[in-house]
């Protein structure tokens, strides 16, 4: 069995997985205590899968599972962001990793099928009731850092995680120990104070979370977004384990989009190019992206003519939320109300909000 485990690892490496480890379909108690207490306190972030029973009992999810193969793909790429005014996090700039990962998982299953008769399997990436970072730490891929992300000594934390549950025994790997030591760089560099308690992410203030929440945000949340169009990397950029790591490995994950605010706002909902729709940021809809771009204009105080022009255009958008934020930005930047009087004369929604108690008639 040991030899087979090694050969399988080698084959999975050959098809491009950067990290490979094996563990049992049972969670290590010390790594899930925090999850359980947050669940009991009703303090789990949104976007955590609702099937808590399966999260805590992986056999509930895949009853026949004997081994969990945990896999990692590096997404660290060179980024040229000179001409950007809005921020797009690294993980969402290339092709949607769910798709890239799933293609590779299919290849992995084809390999496993050559080794076993009657192989049964299920694979997952991100959106299943699976604590992926906990499995990854158990399978020796790295450790969960104070920024709550899985860090590997060679590849850093810019890695995606996925798993294959199989009905066969493999030689399991040993859990990696935590190597954060006395470092607090991620905590100190978080712009929103969301990591003030190490290993505990306060999703209510986390910029990454707020850029993904739909609809109207409150004033405090709007400020916390800063200039982010999508996601946040500040607790990773600074991490000593993310310096001098391998890069530009998977061509599918090569950055294709940029955080250029006026360009983003000049698209309408239907005219976003396919390469935008095919990234991991599209899952909350392009209106959420445009809402964040409008909030960014306010936060970075962009007063140039090109911003004014695009705000006027957005005041006529079909979506009330986009019109609301276009109006809010227009007022916040002190552009002349005179120019938009006609556009907003018949507006009901933004008037109702009475955004800054300004008279718009």
Q: Which residues are catalytic?
A: 126
Interacting residues with ligand SF4 between 290 and 329 (CB under 6 A): none
Is residue 92 a contact residue for ligand SF4 (CB under 6 A)?
no
Q: Give kind and range of the element (H or E) at residue 224.
A: helix 219-225
Q: How far is the CB of 317 from ligand B12 (least distance, A)?
A: 26
DSSP labels, 120-149: -EEEE-SSSS--HHHHHHHTTS-EE-TTSS
Of 106-114, 169-177, 184-192, 352-360: span binding ligand SF4 (CB under 6 A)? 184-192
Interface pattern 152-181 for ligand SF4 (x via CB under 6 A): ----------------------------x-
Interacting residues with ligand SF4 between 206 and 265 (CB under 6 A): 206-208, 232, 234-235, 238-241
Interacting residues with ligand SF4 between 93 and 152 (CB under 6 A): 145-147, 151
Q: How far is the CB of 245 from ligand B12 (least distance, A)?
A: 12
Determine the Cα–Cα distance for residues 353 and 99; give it in Å rounded to an integer. 40
- Under the rule (CB under 6 A), what is the footprint of ligand B12? 31-32, 34-35, 38, 44-45, 47-48, 89, 91, 125-126, 130-134, 144, 147-150, 157, 159-161, 178, 199-201, 203, 206, 208-209, 212, 231-233, 235
Distances from the Cα of 148 to the Cα of 168, 180, 186, 204, 256, angstroms: 31, 11, 10, 15, 27
Instruction: Let me know the angle formed at the C-alpha of 56 by 37 and 110, rounded to the nearest 5 degrees.
Output: 145
Do 161 and 71 touch, CB atoms closer than 8 A?
Answer: yes
325 binds, among ligand SF4, ligand B12, none (CB under 5 to 8 A by kind): none
User: Between 161 and 185, whose beta carbon lies closer to ligand SF4?
Assistant: 185
What value does the CA radius of gyration of the chain take, rounded to a whole number of Å? 23
Question: Distance from CA of residue 132 to its chain's centroid?
Answer: 14
By DSSP bridging, strand 87-88 and strand 228-230 are: parallel
Q: Give kind and range of the element (H or E) at residue 294.
A: helix 286-299
Instruction: Give the footprint of ligand SF4 on this chain (CB under 6 A).
Output: 145-147, 151, 180, 183-186, 190-192, 194-195, 201, 206-208, 232, 234-235, 238-241
């Amino acid at each position: 069995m040991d030899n087979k485990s090694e050969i399988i690892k080698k084959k999975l490496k050959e098809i491009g997985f950067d990290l490979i480890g094996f563990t049992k379909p049972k969670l290590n108690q010390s790594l899930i205590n925090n999850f359980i207490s947050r669940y009991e306190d009703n303090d789990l972030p949104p976007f955590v899968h609702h099937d808590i029973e399966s999260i805590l009992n992986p056999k509930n999810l895949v009853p026949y599972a004997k081994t969990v193969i945990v896999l990692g793909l590096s997404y660290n790429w060179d980024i040229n962001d000179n001409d950007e005014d809005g921020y797009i996090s690294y993980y969402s700039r290339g092709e949607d990793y769910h798709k890239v990962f799933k293609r590779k998982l299919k290849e992995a299953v084809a390999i496993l099928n050559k080794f076993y008769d009657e192989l049964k399997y299920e694979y997952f990436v991100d959106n299943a009731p699976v604590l992926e970072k906990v499995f990854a730490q158990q399978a020796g891929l790295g450790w969960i850092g104070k920024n709550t992300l899985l860090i590997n000594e060679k590849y850093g934390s810019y890695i995606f995680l996925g798993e294959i549950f199989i009905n066969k025994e493999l030689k399991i790997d040993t859990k990696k120990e935590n190597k954060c030591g006395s470092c607090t760089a991620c905590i100190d560099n978080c712009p929103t104070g969301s990591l003030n308690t190490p290993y505990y992410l306060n999703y209510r203030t986390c910029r990454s979370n707020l850029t993904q929440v739909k609809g109207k945000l409150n004033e405090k949340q709007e400020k916390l977004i800063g200039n982010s169009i999508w996601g946040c990397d500040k607790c990773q950029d600074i991490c000593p384990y993310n310096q001098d790591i391998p890069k530009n490995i998977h061509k599918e994950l090569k950055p294709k989009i940029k955080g250029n605010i006026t360009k983003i706002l000049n698209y309408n909902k239907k005219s976003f190019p396919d390469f935008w729709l095919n990234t991991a940021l599209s899952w909350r809809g392009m209106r959420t992206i445009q809402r964040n771009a409008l909030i960014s204009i306010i936060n970075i105080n962009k007063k140039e003519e090109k911003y004014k022009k695009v705000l006027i255009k957005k005041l006529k958008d079909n979506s009330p939320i986009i019109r609301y934020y276009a109006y809010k930005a227009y007022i916040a930047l002190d552009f002349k109300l005179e120019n938009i009087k006609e556009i907003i004369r018949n507006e009901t929604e933004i008037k109702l909000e009475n955004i800054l108690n300004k008279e718009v008639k």
